[in-house]
Amino acid sequence: MKVVLAGAGAFGLKHLDAIKVIGGIEVASVVGRLIEPTKEAAAKYGVKHATTELAEALAQPGVDAVILATPTQMHAAQAIQCMKAGKHVQVEIPLADSWADSQTVMDMQKKTGLVCMVGHTRRFNPSHQYVHRKITAGEINVQQMDVQTYFFRRKNMNALGQPRSWTDHLLWHHAAHTVDLFAYQARSPVVIANAVEGPHHPELGIAMDMSIQLKAASGAVCTLSLSFNNEGPLGTFFRYICDNGTWIARYDDLVNGKDEKVDVSKVDVSMNGIELQDREFFAAIKEGREPNASVAQVLPCYKVLHDLDQQLAKARR
């Protein structure tokens, strides 16, 4: 299978690292905003073609699929461009930064029948998979999730500390992880959602602190705190309070409520959530099936984000 990787930034490189160990996948082209660093990334991973134009990459011989790790604001239009070109596509989270664009991507997937998957990595992290398997086996039910998503990011910087050409967003990007995961783990749609935000950054124009409350149809509740002002520790921490135990997940690591480490090394073939996400994408294409985290499965998350966005906008007026 031949794949294009668009977006040679911090997360694009994580996908290239994952593809190296999956096997049977050839990267036909790397696409980036600036040609020189894009060529450097391509050379590092043994990719022969590099370009700043997605259309040029899509036209490379035998391309089957595309992974989009580009700026949020480009995701919807580029996903549609890929599917129009007959390519399966995995869009890094978030699918879009508006409900209208999210629906448009869904419409194109329905029209083409191609695999369109969104990078909701938390569904694939072994820590969250471990909890999900207990839920689906009927061993536990989520009563409450308490989540902290904390960064120190007062400038447009990526995960590698490099300048970004675009502005990240607590609601449309980082909250998307938790809103989707909460419904996934509660096995129930979100029926109540509320949000408040702190002051907007004078230059970035975004809220730097936010608090979100969710309730699922099952009765489970979720409290999510997000900040770009936090100086540490950084990352996202998930506390699962269940009817039969408590677990705390941080990326691919898991401990129980007594802070005892849970071995999740045998949950899947890897401990790398990005790799497992990519494996699911390629497997769904090969097997002609809907992937976990398909656009259809995660679409309700973006309706919740839209409703919260409208709520926050109204409060600002």
3.40.228.10, 3.30.360.10, 3.20.20.210, 3.90.960.10: which CATH number matches 122-267+301-316? 3.30.360.10
d(CA 17, CA 309): 34
pLDDT by position in tens, the chain (length 317): 999 999 998 899 999 999 999 999 999 999 999 999 999 999 999 999 999 999 999 999 999 999 999 999 999 999 999 999 999 999 999 999 999 999 999 999 999 999 999 999 999 999 999 999 999 999 999 999 999 999 988 887 766 677 777 778 999 999 999 999 999 999 999 999 999 999 999 988 999 999 999 999 999 999 999 999 999 888 999 999 999 999 999 988 999 999 999 999 999 999 999 999 999 999 999 999 999 999 999 999 999 999 999 999 999 98
Residue 5 CB neighbours (<10 A): 25
CB neighbour list of residue 251: distance below 8 Å, 6 or more residues apart: 125, 127, 235, 236, 273
How do the domains of the chain map onto residue ranges?
A: 2-119+274-293, 122-267+301-316
Residue 266 vs residues 24, 126, 271: alpha-carbon distances, Å = 23, 9, 9
Name the DSSP letter for residue 208.
Answer: S
Handedness of CA 41, 43, 46, 49 (dihedral sign): positive
* Amino acid residing at 49: H
CA dihedral 297, 301, 302, 306 (to 10 degrees): 150
Report how far Cα 114 is from the mean position of its chain's Cα atoms: 19
Q: How far apart are CA 119 and CA 150, in angstroms?
A: 20
The vertex-224 CA angle with 148 and 281, nearest 5°, equals: 80
CA–CA distance, 152 with 227 (Å, rounded to integer): 8
**β-strand partners of 221:** 144, 215
**Cβ contacts of 213 within 8 Å, gap of 6 or more:** 192, 193, 194, 195, 221, 222, 223, 224
Angstrom distance (rounded) from CA 17 to CA 313: 39
Report DSSP state, residue 225. Answer: E
CB 269 within 8 A of CB 21: no
Homologous superfamily of the 2-119+274-293 domain (CATH) = NAD(P)-binding Rossmann-like Domain (3.40.50.720)
How far is Cα 52 from Cα 56, in angstroms, rounded to an integer?
8
Q: HSE (CB half, 13 Å, CA atoms) of 188?
A: 17
pLDDT of the residue at 156: 77
* Cα distances (angstroms) measured from residue 161 to each of 115, 155, 193: 33, 10, 33
Q: CB-based contacts of 15: which residues, under 8 Å, 6+ apart?
A: 5, 67, 69, 274, 278
End-to-end CA distance of the chain: 50
The amino acid present at 117, given as its one-letter code, is M
Half-sphere exposure of 311 (CA within 13 A, CB side): 17
The whole-number pLDDT of residue 168 equals 85
Residue 205: phi, psi to the nearest 5?
75, 20
pLDDT, residue 159, reads 64
Instruction: Let me know: does 270 contact 145? Beta carbons within 8 Å.
Output: no
